[in-house]
Structure 1
Amino acid sequence: MVCVLALAGCSSAPPPPGQKVDIGGLALHVNCTGPSTAQPTVIIEAGLGEMSASYHWVQAGVSKQARVCSYDRAGLGWSDSSSDPRDAQHMVRDLHALLEAAHISPPYVLAGHSLGGLLILAYTRRYPDEVAGLVFLDSSHPQQKARLPDYERNERWGKRMLTALSIGAHLGLTGLLTSSSDEPSSGEPPADVRAAFEYFGGDPRMYSTGRAELDRFDADTADAALVDSLGDRPVVVITAGKLRKHSNPKELADAEAYVKIFSELHAQYAALSSRGRQVILPNAGHMSLVYDKSNADDVVRNILEVVQEVRSLNQSQ
């Protein structure tokens, strides 16, 4: 239990919405909703340092028509921490073990946000027979480090910030911590989701695990780069087209470059499949894509289109 000393007092974590499943000395939290007999099952792979509750709006929308599971990687949300490296090799292994232990059977449509896009590629490479479709949600890309302006400087800043947030959370300075997104959002999540954000926003593990994941980012991009084809699987690649905040001409130029470069990189993902397509959402930012209900509704629609395409293909076989 995290004891937040300075500003919030000591509190217990809110109850998990799903179940904790032992995968061999490590218990991971998984939350499945929607029709239990519906196939394929959508698996949400979170972004760097994110937890399952961050995808509430996406899960709530998809569950109206399909079975959908979100989960917390080791060290995040309600899951136990792990001493293993936080790289694709170990995280994908954990996910596969979790799905087996929880009796969540394939086929899967994997939906990966940000870092999660690299992880769903790594999963598909290792377990190709289990993956029927993929949805990339403004995903990271193996070439982004080489292509994006000031990438290494921004990465160093991110590592320092996550370390500082972890120290701040240890000291109970939750009042200094901010949401994962500074983008405005519409739609108030339910009270239990808000409680999870408030509690885990003061959990030092969230930030130390995020830092551990960022430290292994280069290994994850190398892993994902080994995938040179997704065959004829239905694939949708969603690109957030909204410019990041800027306060001067250089920041504006960098923001425009980021959107343009990611759009080009995401088109490469779509080209990996003969059934791939790219969707650009001009009013969505990288995080508002899932935090903002109106943006999440667009994500839900595209995920369900992939689900329906997989169903149609299975019926025709």
Structure 2
Amino acid sequence: MGMRQAAAAFVMLAGLSACEGTPPSSTLEAASPYADHWYAFSDPVVAGRYRGLTLYETERQSLGRLVLADGSALALRPVPPMPGDDLAFIVPALGMSFAAKKDGHDSWTGTLIDRAYGEASATLSPTVSAPAETVGQFAILPDGRRMHMVCSGEGAPTVILDYGAGGTVKKDWGDLAAAIAAEAKARVCAYDRAGRGLSDPAATPRDAAAVASDLDQMLTAARIAPPYVLVGHSLGSYHVRQFANSYADKTAGLVLMDPSGDGQMERFAATIPKIVEEQNKLMDAQAGLGCITKLRVNPVPPNDPLAKLCGGNDPDALDATRSEIAEMPGASTASLVASRRSYDDMPLIVLTRGDYDKGMPPSMTTDDRAAMRLVWETMHAEMAALSSRGEQRFIAGAGHYIQSDAPQAVIDAVRDVVAAARSKSP
């Protein structure tokens, strides 16, 4: 093993232990992306594969994202450098490491080792050519894990946004969070679940109860006072409903966006087995096989549909997505059913898609889609009935991603629930 390969091995090993140690004393860290913390590789061959990277400074550490040629990003983890080097980081999803020495011009020159491309000399230099990614703050849980959230606006109750399977704060909420904050005149916080985005991974399995517990600990650590209006899209609806069941005194209202329902896979299996077959073929999540395993063994380009389906090539994100989906028909549903309660007159709006062509597998026939619509709308009606103030809204022309197809419908629903929650406040 050569000197640089040995250094790379050290870097990878250091990365495995970088999250260990004593929990920090602070429970909230600000994270700021400075303009001079955007860097690009000046070497043409390397630059052709990687657009650049950014480092986010917190009170205790740096972390960041590696931006690929197509504009997508993967988690980057700075680690302690070897003696003689000033900078070292790893990108676990790519089996990549970079170790370098700083020169006199805020640049680093060293060796980059990539699982797919091998070893190359590379220089990393400052640049401001890439737009900064939205970064907010990190709440530190009692076990030391960091949970990332981005908040905007002011006003109570605070609105919490939880995306569906494979989502991210930027992809799913983008500018919508700020628009909700402006119209609802409330603070709005979108967050990354454990293992996704910039949040630290957690032990699996990741069922709805575990996610709801993380959310409660995150909000407590961030000193964001209850009650909350919780917004959940798709799988995220499992999490916010579990939170409402487990923390009734902290929940002021719910908005469920084309939500997944209790026992939906069993209902689909009884009426449209083709949907279950399609999901099993693509994900095989409960066995941890299918595309999850394929991506771990042989990562695909980030713009490949397989990578998008599984949440990218990031191993932490893959594990989180696999576990969340795997637990959905079992532990998550069981927990929801066991903790189910009447929401009395709590404000609740369920948004239901109006278009059943968007995003459907080509093998789905007209009859299949009609059967799916019946199951889907029935489940949503059941959820709306949990509150005497529950309402189901059908969003014409919108597919499953209502926040993309009809963002104003989401803004209106959140604004209305926030207003109703305020009218109930003493």
Task: Confirm or deny a common fold (TM above 0.5).
Answer: yes
Q: 2-side partners of 1:31 and 1:239: how far apart?
A: 26
TM-score (norm 1): 0.82
List aligned pairs for 1:48-127, cutoff 5 A.
48-53=165-170, 54-64=172-182, 65-127=185-247
Q: 1:247 to 1:211 in 2, by over 3 A?
A: closer
Query: What's the CA shift for 1:265?
Result: 1.0
Residue 247 and residue 31 in structure 1: after superposition, are their counterparts in 2 closer, same or farther (change >3 A)?
A: closer
Q: What does residue 164 of structure 2 align with?
A: 47
**Contact 1:231-1:272 within 8 A present in 2 as well:** yes
- Aligned residue for 1:42, secondary structure, equals strand
Of the structure 1 ranges 73-82 and 83-92, higher mean CA displacement relative to structure 2 is found in: 83-92
User: TM-score, normalised on structure 2?
Assistant: 0.62
Looking at structure 2, the residues matched to 180 and 167 of structure 1 have their Cα atoms a distance apart, in angstroms, of 10
Q: Which has the higher contact order (CA 8 A, sep 6+)?
A: 1
Contact 1:239 1:266 in 2 (8 A): yes
Distance in 1 (CA, whole Å) between partners of 2:369 and 2:250 is 37
Q: Structure 1 residue 257 and structure 2 residue 371: aligned? A: yes
Residue of structure 2 aligned with 1:271, choices 385, 393, 405 = 385
Q: Deviation string for 1:181-227 (max 9, x for gaps)?
A: 89xxxxxxxxxxxxxxxxx7442432332111111112112222231
The 8 Å contact of residues 99 and 105 in structure 1, kept in 2 or not, is answered as yes
Post-superposition shift, 1:139? 0.5
CA gap 1:20/1:90 in 2 versus in 1, 3 angstroms = same
Distance 1:205 1:247 in 2: 27
Pair 1:159 & 2:283 matched: yes
Alignment partner of 2:392: what SS? strand
Output the amino acid matched with 2:158: T
Task: Output one character per residue of 1:145-181: Cα deviation in whole Å (capped at 9) or x when no partner.
Answer: 2322115323312424884256437644225523998
Larger Rg: 2
Pick one of 380, 394, 398 that aligns with 1:284: 398
Confirm or deny that 1:147 pairs with 2:267: yes
Does residue 1:308 correspond to 2:419, yes or no? yes
CA distance in 2, matches of 1:252, 1:81: 41
1:172-251 aligned within 5 A: 172-175=299-302, 177-178=304-305, 201-218=312-329, 219-226=331-338, 227-245=340-358, 250-251=364-365
SS of the residue 2:320 aligns to: helix
Evaluate the alpha carbon distance shift between residue 310 and residue 250 of structure 1 in structure 2; reply closer, same or farther with a 3 A threshold.
closer
On the 8 A contact 1:166/1:206 being kept in 2, the answer is: no
Shift of 1:234: 0.5
Following TM superposition, by how much is the alpha carbon of 1:50 offset from its aligned partner in structure 2, in angstroms?
1.6
Residues 163 and 140 of structure 1: CA distance in aligned 2, closer, same or farther (over 3 Å): same
C-alpha root-mean-square deviation of aligned residues, in Å?
Answer: 2.9
Residue in structure 1 matched with residue 409 of structure 2 by the alignment = 298
Instruction: Decide whether the 8 Å contact of 1:163 with 1:208 is kept in 2.
Output: no
> CA shift at 1:247, angstroms?
7.5
Deviation at 1:42, TM superposition (A): 0.5
Distance in 2 (CA, whole Å) between partners of 1:177 and 1:125 is 38
Against the structure 1 CA distance between its residues 217 and 158, is the aligned structure 2 distance closer, same or farther, given a 3 Å change threshold? farther
1:261-295: per-residue Cα shift (whole Å, max 9, x none)?
Answer: 211110111111011110011211112x1234xx1
Deviation, structure 1 residue 22 = 1.2
Could you tell me which runs of 5 or more consecutive residues in structure 2 were left unpaired when the two chains were aligned: 1-75, 77-90, 95-113, 125-131
Task: Evaluate the alpha carbon distance shift between residue 171 and residue 19 of structure 1 in structure 2; reply closer, same or farther with a 3 A threshold.
Answer: farther
The Cα shift of 1:95 comes to 0.6
SS of the equivalent of 1:136 reads strand
The structure whose residues are more often helix, as a share, is 1
**TM superposition shift of 1:248:** 6.5
**AA matched with 2:167:** E
**Could you say what secondary structure the match of 2:237 adopts?**
helix
Secondary structure in 2 matching 1:39: coil
- How many residues align structurally? 292
Q: For residues 250 and 91 of structure 1, what CA distance do their matches in structure 2 show?
A: 32
Following TM superposition, by how much is the alpha carbon of 1:69 offset from its aligned partner in structure 2, in angstroms?
0.6
Equivalent pairs: percent with the same residue?
32
Q: Structure 2 vs 1, CA of residues 166 and 20 (structure 1 numbering), >3 Å: closer, same or farther?
A: farther
Counterparts in 2 of 1:84 and 1:238: CA distance versus 1, 3 Å: same
Structure 1's 180 and 136: CA in aligned 2 closer, same or farther, altered over 3 A? farther
Determine helix, strand or coil for the equivalent of 2:151. Answer: strand
Tell me what 2:251 maps to: 131
